[in-house]
Amino acid sequence: MPVAGKAHVPNHMVASTMKRERDLGEILETVDVLDWQGPIHTNMSGSAVTALEDGKVLYFPRLAFELPYEERRFLSPSVADARAKNVSFDASTGALKHAVGSAADLSAITAMLRRYHEHALALLRLLLPPYSDTLDIGRTSFRPAEIAGRHLSAKKDDTRLHIDAFPSTPTRGKRILRVFTNVNPAGHSREWRLGAPFEDVARAFVTRTRGYSPVVAALLNAFGATKSYRTAYDHVMLKIHDSMKADETYQRDAEQNAFSFPPGSTWMAYTDKVSHAATGGQHLFEQTFYLPVNAMIDPSKAPLRILERIAGRALV
């Protein structure tokens, strides 16, 4: 099992000081991996699993996803449908969505995304062996568009601090574990803001989450607006997500740290617990996984259990 310690953060990767920062060592753990299948070199004081469950981001500064010459032509916003901005791949079915190009292009893009999926899965099995048998595979995506400067509603604007919750895809408490890799060919970093601990976020916004109706949840599912039944937990998480993004004062004054993920780096986090915002950058690969709460080393650290303690009742 890898062991860890305080994140080593090179000065050139930390943006200018923002209001109410935490020590980055409380938020970020650096793991030195050069290959998706190992070996791992790290000075972490505990396991990578513990760091993730505590709400930290695992940062791999030298773990690159290499693109051969023939794939570099896809590093262009033109490969994605303009309405979607991202290309999506489902490893379980082989389905590719929102990609633009010839049949040969689509086949090559599919192969590229499948390879990233396989790399991310190998990394999780290497780094997080207790999870290996219980992970559910989510979508793989490629994001070739610049995230800064988009004109989106607050709910859809990921440059605003938020925790992940999906309107059409209830998780019923499952954890959302995501792996990201910056492949920007021009040397541009992926700019993030990392916010307050989840329990602080929850307590700040939980009073705005009233209004859950099992009848409405059943109707949403029956008419296909959601892919499964939206539980009280999903309702609360979605309301927190939306309220965070809509609150201009919170966005401006909340505890937050800026961090730049350079090209050739990879990072992972439970994005249902890590308050985050992606404020700049272009050309990113991402893989989503889901984990049942009871498969965690410490289920009490899950957002579901934290929210149930705050609410004093079961939410699923």
> What pLDDT shows up at residue 45?
57
pLDDT in tens, 144-166: 999 998 888 999 999 999 999 99
Q: Which residue has the higher pLDDT, 129 or 38?
A: 129
Q: Residue 257 contacts by C-beta under 8 Å, 6 or more apart in sequence?
A: 18, 21, 22, 24, 27, 193, 194
CB 7 within 8 A of CB 24: yes
> What pLDDT shows up at residue 44?
66
Helix axes 198-205, 303-311, angle to 10 degrees: 40
Amino acid at 91: A
pLDDT in tens, 206-253: 999 999 999 999 999 999 999 999 999 999 999 999 999 999 999 999
pLDDT tier at 3, thresholds 50, 70, 90: very low
> What pLDDT shows up at residue 151?
85
Dihedral sign (CA 117, 87, 58, 274)? negative
pLDDT tier at 1, thresholds 50, 70, 90: very low
> What pLDDT shows up at residue 110?
98
Ramachandran area for residue 312 (φ above 0: left; ψ -120 to 50: alpha; else beta): left
pLDDT tier at 117, thresholds 50, 70, 90: very high
| Mean pLDDT lowest among 29-43, 185-199, 259-273 | 29-43
Cα gap 310→316, rounded to integer Å? 14
Q: Which residue stretches of 25-80 are H helix? A: 48-53
> What pLDDT shows up at residue 88?
97
In 3D, which of 254, 253, 216, 251 has the Cα closest to residue 235? 216
pTM assigned to the model: 0.92
Amino acid at 29: E
- HSE (side-chain half, CA atoms, 13 Å) at 313: 5
The answer, yes or no, to whether residue 11 has pLDDT greater than 50, is no
The answer, yes or no, to whether residue 123 has pLDDT greater than 60, is yes
Dihedral sign (CA 140, 142, 148, 153)? negative
> What pLDDT shows up at residue 20?
80
pLDDT in tens, 244-287: 999 999 999 999 999 999 999 999 999 999 999 999 999 999 99
Cα gap 281→8, rounded to integer Å? 22
pLDDT tier at 43, thresholds 50, 70, 90: low
Amino acid at 3: V
pLDDT in tens, 62-107: 999 999 999 999 999 999 998 888 999 999 999 999 999 999 999 9
> What pLDDT shows up at residue 2?
41
Percent of all residues in the chain with a pLDDT value above 90, rounded to a whole number: 85
